[in-house]
A and B are shown apart, each in its own frame.
Chain A
Amino acid sequence: MIYLQLYWEFFKTGLFAVGGGMATVPFLQEMGLRTGWFSPATLADMLAVSESTPGPIGINMASYAGFTVAGVPGGVVATLGEISPSVLIILLVAAMLRAVRGNRTVERAFYGMRPASLGLIAAAGIGVLRLCLLDEAAFAAGGQLSDLLPWKPLLLFALLWGLTNLVKPAKRLHPLTWIAVSAAVGVLAGGF
């Protein structure tokens, strides 16, 4: 029963992803590889679309992934799965807001969970980087270092990184701007 499986997979994601939409990426990456529902490349595309459309990124990703797996009902079920743990926990916690907010044990648990969540995001990021910026297939075939490092995507990466981190006026622009620019560069370059 695909819908039940979708619901459960996204329930786990909603329960364990700590710290916003990007934190769901490692869970989706592992889910895609384990179930064969979507490839890491598709996941990167879903992330881009989710960043460029209205709505919370985590929810957009769940809707998109669910739709990819099982059409419109799949999107609905995945989204419901992702929000279920939040709703249950918040309804439990809501009654004792003050107790949770200043609670030292909760703070200490988050002290540990934040860097772990970041480690997961970084590992997922390295997976995406290997996929998009390195040509490991050409390297395996040719054995040259220049085969491993295709210059066009690497140049675009360096440019975008510099613009979003070092150039003050550019830093403030919404990610959507950079996604649109990269799409245009991709089309002009005839693909990477």
Chain B
Amino acid sequence: MELRKLGELFLCFARVGVMTFGGGYAMLPILQRELVERRGWATAEELGDYYAVGQCTPGVIAVNTATFVGFKRGGPAGGVAATLGVVTPSLVIITALAALLSRFAELPAVQHAFSGIRVCVCVLICNAVTKLWKSAVIDGPTLCIFLGTLALSLLTKLSPVVYVPAAALIGILVHVLRRDRP
């Protein structure tokens, strides 16, 4: 794997990282333009496949997709180069902003602004829940899993790490039991 190709992957995904505004779902149209239309590195169908894999594997969707495209083009080293590319703009921008904000955090105006912003964060989380609801809670068992997780995490101090693998097992078991009793 030549260095030039790795550099290309890194830069391409750094561009994607800068232009993505608001998470993995916002990234698809940008990937479409950068990978399919500008560079011809993938067809629209391939990109759809990569994206689907990014969504059905754990982790940040944007990172999964970047790793996958990079791997397809340049093997494991390509996957790493593309991933580092997609996270570098975040790191630089957030670090600069966090350093700036922490210097001004004591100012009353900044504190007042954030007290307003926190209310907005509540709305954003509510809206995220309603949006995800449609694809996640689709029948009786999924409703039970949702309510069970919600109740347990409100009432106990169990680590969230426990719930996700347990729910994966339940998801598989539900289908096994259903097949036994058709």
Contacts and interface: CB of A to CB of B under 8 A. Distances in A.
A113 B126 contact: no
Interface string A47-90: 11111011111111001100110001001100100110111011
B125 A182 contact: no
Given A86-B58, A178-B123, A118 B164 contact: no
A55 B87 contact: yes
Contacts of A57: 22-23
B63 A56 contact: yes
A58 B60 contact: yes
The binding surface of chain B is classed by DSSP as helix
A115 B149 contact: yes
Contacts of B62: 56, 58-59
A100 interface: yes
Interface residues on B, range: 35 or more
Contacts of B21: 54, 174, 176
A22 B125 contact: yes
Contact of A120 (B24, B118, B137, B163): B163
Interface string B150-161: 100110000111
A16 to B, nearest CB: 4
28 contacts: A12-B161, A18-B164, A22-B125, A22-B128, A53-B90, A53-B94, A58-B24, A59-B63, A63-B94, A63-B98, A64-B94, A83-B63, A85-B58, A86-B67, A86-B83, A89-B59, A101-B56, A107-B56, A109-B169, A112-B169, A114-B136, A115-B143, A115-B146, A118-B129, A118-B136, A118-B149, A128-B125, A183-B114
Q: Which 9 A-B pairs have the closest CB atoms?
A: A112-B171, A186-B116, A119-B149, A55-B90, A86-B59, A116-B167, A182-B120, A56-B62, A114-B136
Interface of A: 12, 14-22, 24-27, 30, 41, 44-45, 47-51, 53-60, 63-64, 67-68, 72, 75-76, 79, 82-83, 85-87, 89-91, 93-94, 97, 100-101, 104-126, 128-129, 131-133, 153, 156-157, 160-161, 164-165, 174-176, 178-179, 181-187, 189-192
